[in-house]
Structure 1
Amino acid sequence: MKNANVPNFLIVGAAKGGTTSIYNYLLQHPEVFLTRIKEPCFFCFADSPPQYKIPPNTIFSFEEYKELFKNSDKYKMKGEATAIYLYLYESTIKNIKKYLPDYEDLNIIMILRNPVDRAFSQYMHNVRDMREDATFEEAIAAEKLRKEKNTNTDFFYLERGYYSEQVKAYLENFKNVKIYLFEDLISSPENLMKDLCDFLKINSSIKFNTNEKFNVSGRPKSKFLIRLVKENSVLKQFLKMIIPKKSRKKFAASVKNKVYAINLQKEKINPEIKKALKKHYREDILKLQKLINRDLSSWLK
């Protein structure tokens, strides 16, 4: 991309597929610039705020979006990560073409997770953040009504897992698209990052620290601790006083991950619901398998 204040790569999703981990690993690379704000959501909501409540970090103005890339000139690769770009592919692709004249050179990165596991993980993510009171079964049964009521897309547990049309649109509109599976990240994050560096044409001999897990889901044992790390303004002000600005975000993320590690209780999806959802997604998974030329049979077992 010729403009220094725009990205030349995007991590577009899927949500709960490992985008946060890839974002944090790439932050370690000296040739890579990533926006301070993860999930700026600009290309899906540009100039058109949705009616439902969205994160306060969301960027609507192109001028404000370009400010995120200020002082990024010295980096070979400049990017951002917004997981909703995959699901909201129509508005995202339209706005990429509108705001990035050199969009043909844009590198698109996505990581896909078994849609059944992804749906349950997203549900547990909302449980973690105390945004979801329904059971998983109740929540997926209410999804159609929630959509009709223009609920935040974070609650579209099933619909966000229909990958085939989403992926197809990116493959048809961009020449540089790299697709990973969640299994690639779990089995060998080092190999994934090396391959990703090769895709981005940056030094692939970098040794990444891939030990830390990011954005994990689960049911909180203590709601107080969740509120403390997510909402407590006094804590944030205290960190501003003792932690240099350059290190503050990394430190805060590390603290949050440690709190999650000790405070979140893992849960498993009901086997009968899992079996039904595998059948539900079967046709779309088979379409995706053919589209990306990857064996997805394990998603159907």
Structure 2
Amino acid sequence: MTLPNLLIVGAAKSGTTSLHNYLNQHPDIFMCKPKEPHFLISKEIGINRIPNAINKKRQYIDLFKSAKNKKYVGESSVLYLAYPNISIKNIKKHLNDQVKIIIMLRNPVQRAYSGYQHVKRYNSVENLSFDQALKKSEFRYSNNSAITPASRYLELGNYYKQVKLFKQKFEFVHVIIYDDYLNHFNIEMEKVFDFLNLDKVHINTQTKHMVGGWEWNNLLFKKLLLENSILKKIFKNLIPKKRYRKYLRDFILNMTTRSIQEMDPQTENWLKNYYKDDIIKLSKLINRNLNHWIS
């Protein structure tokens, strides 16, 4: 039985998808598909909140059965970081305390806006403005058992306590700052391979992962493409071949989407003040100057 000994635990919207796929290029690493099984928190958080999560251990084990003779077997469920008490308990229960943990952190102000845009893009329920969603995110989450944890736009960026708990409970924790990952990719990948005690390999970065930067400008087509509506079923019956449906879907997306507008400066300043104390404590915890996140 093969189980993970490498976890990318978050944060959401911080480059974890690309790192997951780049690590898969290393001959000594197997990263599972789907990338985010969320098995280690799914029962406690609720399958309604994470409908694509795996909640049976046998299914979880099956994700890694193709990992033959690999030094590292991993997965990248980004909500583990947001629920440290639950995930840490279950990592120790189902895996062990020698698991290697990678944490990727993005400026929480930018992460919140990116997270909102992602949920708005792929979840038909999100219909509030960013300002409204920030104010109501925790109330909505507490009062609706089907609301995705990804909509906790503020809370997911309170990194200090999350990172502190992982560093306290595990010996092997490596933190990557998203800015460094973008601007000094080769150096950051070398640090990852050093952390894993692996030989360095060339990483092909031609394929882009989880490319965002767009939003809907036609809510009718958003509902058509996202919800399991009668129109969507008719659409599938009329065009049975998945390949042709994808061509048409991409055409519709090009016609009904637009580039994301920049965050309102007042909202950005409010978020900087909100996260300021947490960022200062995080900076000391990981010994990394993060003043550029709040300046």
The question of a shared fold, defined as TM-score above 0.5 by the shorter chain, is answered with yes
Q: State the shift of 1:74 in Å.
A: 1.9
1:245 maps to what in 2? none
Q: Deviations over 1:240-299 (max 9, x none)?
A: 89xxxxxxxxxx9xx98xx68x95512211001111110111111111000000000001
**Contact between 2:42 and 2:50, CA under 8 Å: does it hold in 1?**
no
Aligned match for 1:113, one of 73, 87, 106: 106
| Residue identity matched to 2:94 | Y
Point out 4+ residue stretches in structure 1 off by more than 3 angstroms. Answer: 221-241
Distance in 2 (CA, whole Å) between partners of 1:194 and 1:229 is 39
Q: Unaligned regions of 5+ residues in structure 2, if any? A: none
Q: State the shift of 1:182 in Å.
A: 0.9
- Normalised by the length of structure 1, the TM-score is 0.83
The alignment yields a C-alpha RMSD, in angstroms, of 2.8
Distance in 1 (CA, whole Å) between partners of 2:240 and 2:28 is 31
Distance in 1 (CA, whole Å) between partners of 2:129 and 2:24 is 36
Q: State the shift of 1:205 in Å.
A: 2.8
Distance in 1 (CA, whole Å) between partners of 2:223 and 2:21 is 21
Matched residue of 1:104: which SS? coil
**Contact between 1:221 and 1:264, CA under 8 Å: does it hold in 2?**
yes
Matched residue of 1:122: which SS? helix
Distance in 1 (CA, whole Å) between partners of 2:227 and 2:196 is 33
Change (3 A) 1:194 1:214: farther
**Contact between 2:21 and 2:31, CA under 8 Å: does it hold in 1?**
no
Aligned match for 2:21, one of 2, 24, 38: 24
Q: Is 1:98 aligned with 2:101?
A: no
| Residue identity matched to 1:162 | N
**Contact between 1:195 and 1:204, CA under 8 Å: does it hold in 2?**
no
Q: Unaligned regions of 5+ residues in structure 1, if any? A: 242-251
Q: Where do residues 145-164 of structure 1 align in structure 2 (5 Å cutoff)?
A: 145-150=139-144, 151-164=147-160
Q: Is 1:277 aligned with 2:274?
A: no
Q: State the shift of 1:26 in Å.
A: 1.5
Q: Is 1:216 aligned with 2:212?
A: yes
2:134 maps to what in 1? 140
Change (3 A) 1:76 1:229: farther
Change (3 A) 1:290 1:230: farther
Matched residue of 1:10: which SS? strand
Change (3 A) 1:237 1:49: farther
Change (3 A) 1:182 1:131: farther
**Contact between 1:127 and 1:218, CA under 8 Å: does it hold in 2?**
no
Q: Is 1:289 aligned with 2:283?
A: yes
Q: Could you tell me the percent identity over the aligned residues? A: 33
**Contact between 2:22 and 2:203, CA under 8 Å: does it hold in 1?**
no
Aligned match for 2:67, one of 60, 69, 72: 72
